[in-house]
Structures are given as structure tokens and as C-alpha cells.
Amino acid sequence: MIVIADDITGAAEIAGIALSRGNHVRMVCGAVRFDHHAVQGTVVIATDTRSMSEAEAIAETRRIASAIRCQPSVIFKKTDSVLRGHVIAELQALMEATGCHRVVYLPANPSKGRIIRNGVYYMHATPIHETAFSYDPEYPAKTSVLRERFPDAEARGIIMPDAGSLEDIQRVVELYNDGKTIFAGAADLFSTMLNHRDNHGDNSPDMPQSGVDQENRPHDSEENRPHDSLILCGSTQSKALELGIPVAPMPREVYDGQQGADYWFSQLPSSLIRYPSSLILSIPYTHRTGKEVAVHLRMVMAEMTKRLVARHRPEQLVIEGGATAWATLQALGWTEFSIERQIAPGVVQMRAACGTLVTLKPGSYPWGSMFKQ
């Protein structure tokens, strides 16, 4: 199976699920040309199309589809579980590039309380437009009705079924798994597809952890304690972390666009710059929205990280938010990683070539018990 993810944390999440299921997993940033017949296990292609313009996302999707040269039945398109991104445009481009005439788009993640009922997307029984995602800086949720959010989807051959449980997702996979359909969606759909393939149509659904290796659950060990860690809370959906280590919130002047990384860096206490220590960078405001705001926030966070890592490379770099992760790793020049483990649903650890342990977490997922609080 070849997975094309629209952001790097989504790619890492899928790679972690495949790894925990015993699959051979290869993860690349961007596409390299290869024949799908030579692929063993799962190849995950990380992109940053969610942060691109729609035209750029379409062009990148077409480029990747051309590079991998594979049939629709081999592809899984990883999309955001809370509907962000150029979803329909990318799926249309993927259909055209592969000659496919149908896509099943299922962003529901019932294992995380995210379901679709009667065409309405709910998060723990609350319509998504009534949650904090209504003021997402780049893709604010103005409606919870999928046909209103994506009005031209069905006309383009994109099916958007309901799913209130893992059993519902399994029924969708069994119904449309004809070898000619591209499946697109969130982690629960991917995990169920692996289960379907591994068991040759077995009817038992995956466990709610979406493929998490039970032996790799977080535990109170030195590896999970935030010593010598740089933690980037790069999502405006971030919740405060009480870890007993310093927090450096983005100044209001920087958030509002009046200042940049130079100003933020100048506001840090000298003790945090001169000596190795753990530190949390956070964004404490949510009152601005728009593409330019989102780009500004992630680029400032990336530049701050580059400056801090130049002073002292931490043992662990923890990044929340896919766009922030992509910008930060690009700024650092870290492009190759070996996936080590999935420590919680959606939270994956990778080893950079320089030796730093990089932990990626989607911005819309909870921290869970990754850090003992």
C-alpha cells in the first residue's frame, strides 16, 4: 500500500500504525520515482499540501501520482480528521492522474469520538462548527454538514458515507473494496483497511486504539520524561502543558505580526539561551484567522526553533501541528528519519540523522499520557 498524506504528522501517524501492525514501512518526504510492484509493505509519502494554495496542492498531487505510477487500489490518501485542507481538489487531481472514477472519503475517527451521522460531523456529540475548530486560522469550520463544506464532492464521484463506529467503517470498506476505488480519510479508516487485508475479509473490527502496539504504550520511564526537550505547541488548539519546565509563549506583538522571531528570541531569559534546558514554545492567542496568519505563525516558530537548536541541540524535539512540523524540519534541514515507535494514538517518535529523537503529534489530537503531568 502507498499512502499519500497531506501533512507530515498525518504521514507519521499512518507510518506508526503500519509499523505497530508488523508491516515493513518506508517514509519519504515528497515522492521519489518507483514502481509499485516493487514495493514491500507500506510506503508513506509525506507532503505539505494542506499548507499550500489550492493550485499548488493540485500540482503537487499530480506530480506525486505521476512519480509513483500505481493503480488506484494501491493508494490510500491520508486527510485531516477534522476536514482541513484542499480535500476535494486533491482527490479530484488524484482521480484524474490514476484514471479512477470513484473515491470514498471518510474522515471520521470513531475511536476519538469523531463521527459522521446523517452527513453531519460531530466531535464528542458536538457539531464541529461549535468547537474550537470554528476559529482555525487557515480552515475555520463554518458548518458541520459535509455537503455544505464540500458542495461539489458527490458530483465529482467522491462518496462521503456516515460512520458512527469502527464497525460502520468496516462495512464501508467491505462495500467499496472493489480494486477500483481510492480510499481517503483518517487513521481509523486506514487501520480498518489493514485489518481487512490482513484477515482477508474477517469481520472483526480494529480495537479503538487504531492499531497502537499495546506493548508500546506510554509508561513512566526516563524516555517519556521531558528532560532536555524542546516542545513546540504549534497549534492554536493546543492545551497548556503543566510539566514543571519553563514556557515561552509567543509575545502578542509577534502573534499580531508586528514583530518576528528576532523579537521573541530577545524576550527569552538568558538562562534559557546560555544553558541546556527544556523549554516549551506556545501560541497563547486565537483571535486571528487566515492563510497569512497561519504561515506567519509556523514560520516564526520554525525560526525560533532553528535559533535554539543552533545554541544547543536537544535530546528530544516534540512538535505539535503538521504545518509547524514541516516548516520546522525544513528550517533545520532534517529530511530523513527512522521511525522508532508509536507511543500513543497519532503520536509517533522518529530518530533524525543527527541523533535527536523527534516526536510528532497532530494539532487536533490530545497529548494523552505522553508526558506525566
Distance CA(343)–CA(111), nearest Å, equals 16
pLDDT > 70? residue 163: yes
pLDDT range class, residue 368, cuts 50, 70, 90? low
Rounded average pLDDT over 347-352 = 87
Query: Mean pLDDT of all residues in the chain?
Result: 85
The candidate with the shortest Cα–Cα distance to 319, out of 357, 273, 286, 289, is 357
pLDDT range class, residue 154, cuts 50, 70, 90? very high
pLDDT tens figures, 167-210: 999 999 999 988 889 999 999 999 999 998 877 544 333 333 33
User: 166 or 244, which is more confident?
Assistant: 166
Within a 13 Å sphere around the CA of 326, how many CA atoms are in the beta-carbon half? 23
Which grid cell is 64? 506525486
Q: What pLDDT score does 359 carry?
A: 92
pLDDT tens figures, 214-258: 333 333 344 444 568 999 988 766 666 777 788 899 999 999 999
User: Scanning the structure block, which residue is given the C-alpha cell 462495500?
Assistant: 175
What is the helix (H) or strand (E) element at residue 351, kind and residue range? strand 347-352
User: Scanning the structure block, which residue is given the C-alpha cell 493540485?
Assistant: 58
